[in-house]
Each structure stands twice: as C-alpha cells, then as structure tokens.
Structure 1
Amino acid sequence: MSAESIQFNRSFLYGRIRPYESKPAEPQAVRAAAPKNGAIADVQKAAATVKSAPQAHTKAPILTTSSIAPRMSPAAQSKVLRPAMTLEQAVLQKQATRIDFADKAANWRSEYKTQLKAKRAKLLPNYALFAMAAVVFAVGLAASLHSFRVDTKVTAAATARAAAGPTGVDESKPNNLDKYAVSADLPRIIQIPKLGTKARVLQVGLDTKNAVVAPANIHDAGWYTGSAKPGEAGKATLLDGHVSGPTQPGVFKNIASLRAGDSILLEKGDGTTLTYVVVKTEKVAAENVDMQRALTSVTKGKHGLNLISCTGKFDKQTNTFADRVIVYAEQVN
C-alpha cells in the first residue's frame, strides 16, 4: 500500500474513539486493556490530544499508512482507516431503511388488494351463473313435480272415467243368441275371431244430433239402417258398438287393434255368413268423422263392412269419448 495521508476530522475521531471516551474515569484501565503498540495506540493518543484541547484544535492530526502499516495487517488497516459514519448519518440510514420497508409493505398490500379484487371480479360472474343455474333447476324441479302430480291425477281420473264408460247403458250379457231372429237379408250375428267377439246385431238409427245411436246393451252391435244391407256391391254396411260400460268392456272394446288381413264374419237372418278382410284401421276426432266415407266401401266395386266405436278420453260431462276408431273391411266371398 503506497504512503498517503489520511486526515481525521473531529467527527471521525469522535466516531471512532467514542467507545474509549465513554469511561473518562478509567483512562488507565482502558489504556491497560488496549494494545501498547500499533495503530490503535496512535489513535488513542490522537483522541487524547483532541479531548484535552478541543478549542486549540484547528487541524486534525494526520496518520499515514507508512506509520501504521508495518505494525498492522491490510484488513486491520482498512478497518481503522475507513471513514467513520456520524450519528446523524446512522440515524438517517436507519430511518431510510424503515421508510423503505414501510413503502415495500404498502406496495405489497396494495398489490395484494388489487390481485384479490381481480380474482373476485373473475369469480363474480361464475357465482352469478351458479345462482342462476340453481334457480332454474329449482324452478324446473318444482314444475316437473307439479306436472307429475297433475298428470297422475288426470291419468287416474281419465282411467276411472274410461273404465266407467258411458252411463245409462245395459251391461247384462244377452242369452240364447241362437234364438235371436231377424229378416233374411239383414245382419244378425257378428264374429271377430281375433278378438273372440260374438254378438247380436240390432237395428239402430240417428239421434237428435244426427249421430248414429249405439245399442242400449254394451254387448250388442248396432246396424245403422241408413247404410247398405249385407252383400250389396259397391256399398258398405255400417255397424257401431260400445267400447265399454261403467264397469265392463263393450262389444267393440279392442277393434282398434285390428290390422290389415284380420277377418270378420257377418251372418244374415237367413243363416248365410259373409267373410270380410280388414283393409285398414284409423282413428279420428269425434267431430271430424266423415259419415259419407263411413258409409262407402273401402274398395270400389266390392261390398264393404265398416265398424265404428269410441276411443280416447272420456268426457263425463258430455258422457262420450273424444275420438272414434273406424275399421274398414272388404267382402272376400
């Protein structure tokens, strides 16, 4: 290290020597504890000079590296010779450290609040969607339950009404079909092998509303006298019958299940039996029944046999069903 002069001002001396000056009553003990040689002894001497005559001190004593270098290591030299920090500087540095920490803490809190607000802003739409979905689900569930209850009640009521069927009819089963007699050219007995049906055929007309009247007994079929007699070419014989009574099934209970190719037998008063084959079956609303079509043979040039009965929901107030089922058959012999 080259020789250079380092001037110690009072702040340096007081800053460095203050620990030794803190006990003025024991200078001998301090000097006894301190090394008797080296740079530290030189510093003590300089401090004593400054303390004994501070008013006369106009220029700080000069210590040179040439005077202390031979007696100290480079690390010790840098420690002794580096400028000391004044008390004011130490206080300012500490305050600056506190202020810097406070600023960092404030910045962290602000950044945390900003991030928290951003997260909440992102989650808020999801919460709204979840709430809306829950409300929609609850409403849908309530509606489904209500609909289920209503449908159950309606189905039960409709089933009961359909089972009950029209009122004011006879449910007693006729006996001695063999003794039942009609004119030779009129229909007497109808048989539907697929359904196990065998019933009398009575003569019926129209009611006050121009609707074909059904027989009083639910087990009888009715021949509409305004339709053709059995066997008339190009025309059709129209038979109607009940689908059910209050407690029992009627003669045409299951004619809606007839399909093309099923056979129907019609016996006349003279004992002649005519055979018919189903061509088609259709279901229409009661108010949409085409009577002209029902009175016409399904196959042009052949004699037809058409069966009609009630189906669908039963209206207790009107004592009738909402729909009609019509079976169209053609004579094959």
Structure 2
Amino acid sequence: MLAGVGVLGKAIADQRSIPEPPLTATAPTPEAPSSTIPSASASGTTKEKTASPTPSPTETGLTRSAATRVDIPAIGVDSVLNRTGLASDGTIAVPQPGPQFNTPAWYTGSPAPGQLGPSVLIGHVDGIDTGPAVFFKIGSLKQGQDVKVTRQDGKVVTFSIYRVQRYPKDHFPTLAVYGNTDDSELRLITCGGKLNPYTQHYEDNIVVFAKMKSVSQA
C-alpha cells in the first residue's frame, strides 16, 4: 500500500507509461514532524503518531479554510477537491471506485492551503477500467511551475513547485512529506513506478513539493 495515503493507482490492462521522475531512494532532510502525521510501517501502511505541536497557522496570515479546488495549468488539471481523512487502519483514505474516483482530495489532517506547514492533496494515477486519472501527469511537472488551490473562503493560494520525486513505497519519506515546514507548502501525491504483477499495484509514489507564492481573491 501507499505509505501515508493508501492505494492511489491500480494498473490498467495495457499499463500506460506514467510520466514520472527518476526513482529517489534518499528522502530530503525533513523538518520536525507535525503533531499528528501518518507514519509508515515496513509494509507501507501508516498509523498516526504524536510528535511536537504544529506551529500557529496565524503566522502565515491565513486562518483555516478547507481546500475546494485545484488548478495545475501545466498538465491541464482543473478539478474540484473532495475531503478525506484517515481510514480505519490508520492510512489516509483514498477515493474509491465510483463517481468520485477521478476527483482528487484534500487530506483534512493536514494544514489548509496557506497555513503554516504542508497541505496534502492526493489523487489516483489511473484505474483498471477508466484509464489515466486526474494525477496521471503530475510526475512531469517541473520546478517553477504553479499549482493554484482555491479555499472555501474564496482565497486562491498559488504555490510554486520546487521538487518532484519518486520514492519506493517501502521507503516513503513520511517526515519530509508531512513534517513541519518554515513556510506554507503543498504536496501532491499519487502512485508510479513498476507494476507489481501479484498485487496489480504500483510499487512507488510520486510526490510534488511546492511552496506558497501568493494569495489572491477568487
């Protein structure tokens, strides 16, 4: 399973080539962990753990407001956002097959976009019957490209991408993805890498790292 967010891709029959960066075995140096973050086990599943308190979100000037839409112009993504929390096994619940499968979700256990810390969005890479999904192309994103997230209060937070990496699921960089940061940041997460012929799931995760660039009104 995907460390932190469950299974975000189950390979389609002809296994289309997923745009993705090279595999990275070493995670970037993390900040101190947030107060409650999913932590990876050897099997790739995650459980909550308690750590140091998260800094006050008012340091960024924005109060908490749910993420409602994501716009990634470079890859043609413009989608509403659902909300998701933790599943019963402690992993982040992912969109299930059905009408919501192709809609990405904001993990409500993470900061809201524009608050201090990493706001986390998850989305499927593809589906067996549906083909490429909403986050199929995030591995092709480049440093300096923008991701815009609209909040329920009408604020639009623009983030600038600074890193796109792929990690083995059994070496998912939990603290680098979910840990505290000095700024308001964003994470986009999906699956990638090789198809496991036994589980029919991808073996890696693609993670996009971005920092807040500006705030505007919708």
The alignment status of 1:237 with 2:119, answered yes or no, reads yes
Cα drift, residue 239 of structure 1: 0.7
Contact 1:199–1:219, Cα closer than 8 Å, also in 2 = no
Contact 1:238–1:305, Cα closer than 8 Å, also in 2 = yes
Q: Assess, with a 3 A threshold, how the Cα gap between structure 1 residues 318 and 211 changes in structure 2: closer, same or farther.
A: farther
Cα drift, residue 186 of structure 1: 0.3
Distance 1:288 1:209 in 2: 19
The alignment status of 1:162 with 2:15, answered yes or no, reads yes
What SS does the aligned partner of 2:153 have? coil
Q: Which amino acid aligns with 1:324?
A: N
Match of 2:54 in 1: none
Cα drift, residue 219 of structure 1: 1.9
User: Which structure 2 residues correspond to residues 1-333 of structure 1 after superposition, within 5 A?
Assistant: 160=13, 162-163=15-16, 185-216=65-96, 217-233=100-116, 235-246=117-128, 247-296=130-179, 300-315=181-196, 317-333=198-214
Distance 2:72 2:211 in 1: 14
Q: Which amino acid aligns with 2:150?
A: E
Identity %: 27
Cα drift, residue 319 of structure 1: 4.3
Cα drift, residue 229 of structure 1: 1.1
Contact 1:308–1:324, Cα closer than 8 Å, also in 2 = yes
Match of 1:173 in 2: none
Cα drift, residue 326 of structure 1: 0.3
For residues 106-136 of structure 1, give each alpha carbon's deviation from its aligned partner in whole angstroms, at most 9, with x where no partner exists: xxxxxxxxxxxxxxxxxxxxxxxxxxxxxxx
What SS does the aligned partner of 2:13 have? helix
Q: Which structure has greater strand proportion?
A: 2
Distance 1:301 1:223 in 2: 21
Cα drift, residue 314 of structure 1: 2.6
Q: Which structure has greater helix proportion?
A: 1
Q: Assess, with a 3 A threshold, how the Cα gap between structure 1 residues 293 and 314 changes in structure 2: closer, same or farther.
A: same
Distance 1:243 1:310 in 2: 6
**Higher RCO (C-alpha under 8 Å, 6+ residues apart):** 2
Cα drift, residue 278 of structure 1: 0.1
What SS does the aligned partner of 1:160 have? coil
The TM-score, its normalising length taken from structure 2, stands at: 0.64
Structure 2 gap segments, 5+ residues each: 1-10, 17-63
Contact 1:265–1:276, Cα closer than 8 Å, also in 2 = yes
For residues 155-191 of structure 1, give each alpha carbon's deviation from its aligned partner in whole angstroms, at most 9, with x where no partner exists: xxx873635xxxxxxxxxxxxxxxxxxxx81000001
Distance 1:218 1:226 in 2: 20
Say how many residue pairs are matched: 154
Distance 2:88 2:204 in 1: 20
What SS does the aligned partner of 1:327 have? strand
Distance 2:166 2:110 in 1: 21
Q: Assess, with a 3 A threshold, how the Cα gap between structure 1 residues 222 and 282 changes in structure 2: closer, same or farther.
A: same
Distance 1:191 1:279 in 2: 17
Distance 2:88 2:198 in 1: 18
Q: Which amino acid aligns with 1:185?
A: S
Cα drift, residue 261 of structure 1: 0.1
